[in-house]
A and B are shown apart, each in its own frame.
Chain A
C-alpha cells in the first residue's frame, strides 16, 4: 500500500501576533508543523505498523524542512518538497502543485489535516480529490482499513457519521483521530538515512495564478461595555446577576 501524507509548515499558532504596521504577523514567528497534519502522519505510520508492505511519503508544497524531518522521524519513509515559480500559492494552486506530483505515481491513500492553522481554508483536500478524480472524506476521527476497504468515522453537525469507501481515497483528519507520537532518538537517527527530494512541480504559470487574494491582517475591535462585579461577598454578586437576568427578561422576576 502506497500512502501520501500532505503536510504544511505554519507559524506557531500560540505565538501568532499582529504587527499592525505591516498588516501581517510579527516577522520571525517560529514555524511549526500544522497540528492536524501530524495526526495524518500518525495515522499513516500506524497503518504501516499494522500491515506489511506500506510505503509512506510526506509531501509538501513549498518549504517545510523541519516538518518533513519530523514526519521522517515518526516513521514516514521518504519526503518530497515541491517547488514552483510562484511566490505564493492560494489553495487551488497548492492543490494543483500537489496533484501534479501525486498523479505521477499510484497512491492508495492520501491523508492530510482538515485545515491549516494559518489560512484555515480546508480547501486543499477536496480540491485535490476533484483534480485527481478521487473520493474525499473530511473530518475523519476514526479509521479502519481492511483489504482496500475503509470504514471511517467522521464528525458532522448532527453527530458522528460512519461511512465506507474503497481506496484510493483522499481523507482529511481531525485531532480526535489519534495522538501524534513524539519522535524517539532512534527514529530521529533513522530519519537521517531517509531521502528528501526537491521536485520542481510541473504546473503552468497560468494554473499557478491565484484566483483568491488576501488583504492585510487586522484585529477584531472588541468593546467592553458590560458590568463586571468583583471583590464583593458572593451572595451580593449573585443578587446583582439575578437582577440583571430579570431586567433583560432572561428569567422570571423573583
Chain B
C-alpha cells in the first residue's frame, strides 16, 4: 500500500527550485507523517544540482533525480514520463505539485492517463480519515469549496502558490540523490520548445520584490500608468497591474497579478486605483502589509487594507512620491 508523498520539485532555468515548489516541503512532510510514510522529492532538468541541495536542506527524505537534454525544458511529453517513473519508484499515495502552468498541466495529464483524482488549486490540504480534502477557490475565486478524493490509487494535488510558507532550510543537511532511469523516446517528444521571450526586467521580479505597487483601472487611462511606475521606483519596488488594466491593454498580460496572472506575497503591497476585485486579490492575499489608495470608500480593497487612503490618487500619489524621495535623500 502506497503511503509516501511525492513532491514534484519544479526548477527554474538556473537549476534552483521554483519558490512555489519550495513552499510545499512543510506540507509534504506533514502529509507524509500522517500517512506514516516519507517525503520523496522528484527533480528533473538540465543542471539541477542547486535544487537537489535545496531539497535536502528543506527536509526531503529521498531525492529522485533525472537529467537529460530532453528534460532541460519542461514539456508535458517528457516530464510526464519522468514523473510516472518517480511515482512508481516512490510508491506514492499523493503527488504534490505547485499550481504553476507546468504543475497543473502535468497533474491533469497524469490523472487522465491513470484515471486518477486531481485536486486542483488547493489553498489548504488535509487528510480526513481515508480521504484527502482540499479547500479551493471556485467561480473565479468569488467563493470557496472543499473538494475531496479517496486515498488508495495515487492521487494528485496542486497547491496555489503563496498558500504555505517554505520551512526553514537546514544548511548542510545531506540526502543521497538517487538517479532515475528515464527512457525518453525522441519520437514521443511531440511538443518542442523553440524559445522564451522573457518578460521585461522590470516585471520579471514581481514575485521576488519586497515592495510591489499595483496600478488599477482607477488610473483612468494608459498614459497615467507611469504614475504607478514612479511610485514603485520611489519605493525601490516592482510594478504590476490588475486584470482590468491588462485586459484594456495598458500593460502586457504577464504583468497581471491575480487569478490568471501572477501570485505575489510582498512585505508591502500598494494598490493605486485598485478596486479589489477577487480576480486580482486572490493573487495578493499573502501580502504582509497592504496599502490602498482609492477614491471609492466602498472599494473592496479597503477590506484587506492595513492602511487605506480614500482620496484622489492624482493628488495623493505625487505627494507620496515626493515624501519618499525626500526620506530616501536623508
Q: Is A158 within 8 A of B196, CB to CB?
A: yes
Nearest Cβ on chain A to B283's Cβ, whole angstroms: 13
| Segment 9-53 of A: residues with Cβ below 8 Å from B | 11, 13, 16, 18, 25
* A227 in contact with B307 (CB, 8 Å): yes
Complex interface bits, B155-177 against A, C-beta within 8 A gives 1, otherwise 0 = 10000000000000000000000
- Binary interface encoding of chain A residues 202-236 relative to chain B, with 1 for a CB under 8 A from any of its CBs, else 0: 00000100011111111110111111111100110
Does A79 touch B at the CB level, under 8 Å? Answer: no
CA distance A244 to B138 in the complex (A): 35
A137 at the interface (CB under 8 A from B): yes
On chain A, the residues within 8 Å of B254 by CB distance are 155, 159-160
A144-179 residues at the B interface, CB under 8 angstroms: 151, 153-166, 169, 174-176
Instruction: Assess the B147–A127 pair: CB atoms within 8 A.
Output: no
In the complex, identify which listed stretch (A59-67, A102-110, A112-120, A183-191) lies at the interface while the others stay far away: A112-120
> Does the CB pair A156–B143 fall under 8 Å?
no
Q: How many residues of B contact A (CB 8 A)?
A: 83
Chain A residue total in the interface (Cβ 8 A):
85
Interface hit among B31-39, B51-59, B220-228, B296-304 = B296-304
Inter-chain CA distance A220–B276, complex, in Å, is 14
| Interface pair B262/A16, CB less than 8 Å apart | no
Instruction: Check B297 against A226 for contact (C-beta < 8 Å).
Output: no
Enumerate chain B residues within 8 angstroms of A11, measured Cβ to Cβ: 139
A82 CA to B310 CA in the complex, in Å? 52
Contact A141 B146 (CB under 8 A): no
Residues of A with C-beta under 8 A to B307: 226-229, 240-241, 244
Question: Looking across the interface, which residue of chain A has its beta carbon closest to that of B295?
Answer: A230
B interface footprint on A236-254 (CB within 8 Å = 1, 0 otherwise) = 0111111011001011111
Contact assessment for A254 and B191 in the assembled complex, using a CB-CB cutoff below 8 Å = no
B interface footprint on A92-130 (CB within 8 Å = 1, 0 otherwise): 100100000000000000000010011111110111111
CA A169 to CA B307, docked complex, whole Å? 49
> Are the CB atoms of B311 and A166 closer together than 8 Å?
no
Chain B positions within 8 Å of A18 at CB level: 142-143
A143 within 8 A of B: no
Interface string of B80-120 (1 = CB under 8 A from A): 00000000000000000000111011001111110111111
Nearest A residue to B98 by beta-carbon distance?
A: A157
Q: Do A216 and B145 form a contact, CB below 8 Å, given A163-B191, A226-B290, A241-B307?
A: yes
Q: How far is the CB of A78 from chain B (nearest CB, A)?
A: 26
Q: Which of B61-69, B178-186, B318-326 contacts A (4 or more CB under 8 A)?
A: B318-326
Q: Select from chain A the residue with minimum beta-carbon distance to B77.
A: A135
> Which of B104, B119, B143, B304 has the largest count of A CB atoms less than 10 A from its CB?
B143
A91 close to chain B: CB less than 8 A: yes
Residue of chain A at shortest CB distance from B190:
A135
- State in angstroms the CA–CA spacing of A114 and B12 once bound together: 23
Is there an interface contact between B319 and A238, defined as CB atoms closer than 8 Å?
yes
Q: For the complex, is A84 an interface residue (Cβ under 8 Å from B)?
A: no
- B208 contacts the other chain (CB 8 A): no
CB-CB under 8 A from A166, the residues of chain B are 190
User: In the assembled complex, which residues on chain A have CB atoms less than 8 Å from the CB atom of B137?
Assistant: 120
> Beyond A135-B76, A226-B307, is A122–B120 a contact (Cβ under 8 Å)?
yes
In the complex with contacts A118-B139, A126-B105, A160-B196, A237-B146 CB distance below 8 A: no
Choose from A16, A127, A155, A239 the contact partner of B108 (Cβ within 8 Å): A127
* Residue with the highest number of chain B CB atoms closer than 10 Å, among A120, A154, A166, A174: A120
The minimal Cβ–Cβ distance linking A215 to chain B, given in whole angstroms, is: 4
Residue of B nearest to A207 (CB): B115
Q: Say whether A136 contacts B109, CB under 8 Å.
A: yes
Alpha-carbon distance between A163 and B320 when the two chains are bound, in angstroms: 44
**Interface residues of A, Cβ cutoff 8 Å to B:** 11, 13, 16, 18, 25, 91-92, 95, 114, 117-123, 125-131, 135-139, 141, 151, 153-166, 169, 174-176, 207, 211-220, 222-231, 234-235, 237-242, 244-245, 248, 250-254
Question: Would you mind naming 13 contact pairs between A and B with Cβ atoms under 8 Å apart?
Answer: A16-B143, A114-B260, A120-B121, A130-B112, A153-B197, A160-B254, A162-B194, A164-B192, A174-B260, A226-B290, A228-B297, A251-B235, A252-B327
Residues of B within 8 A of A (CB): 12-13, 18, 75-77, 100-102, 104-105, 108-113, 115-121, 137-140, 142-150, 155, 190-199, 204, 211, 235, 247, 253-254, 260, 262, 267-268, 289-291, 297, 302-312, 315-316, 319-320, 323-324, 326-328, 330
Given contacts A174-B253, A212-B117, A213-B147, 4 further A-B contacts (CB under 8 A): A123-B112, A129-B112, A130-B112, A207-B115
Task: List 6 A-B pairs, minimum CB-CB distance, nearest first.
Answer: A127-B112, A130-B112, A230-B310, A126-B108, A215-B146, A135-B190
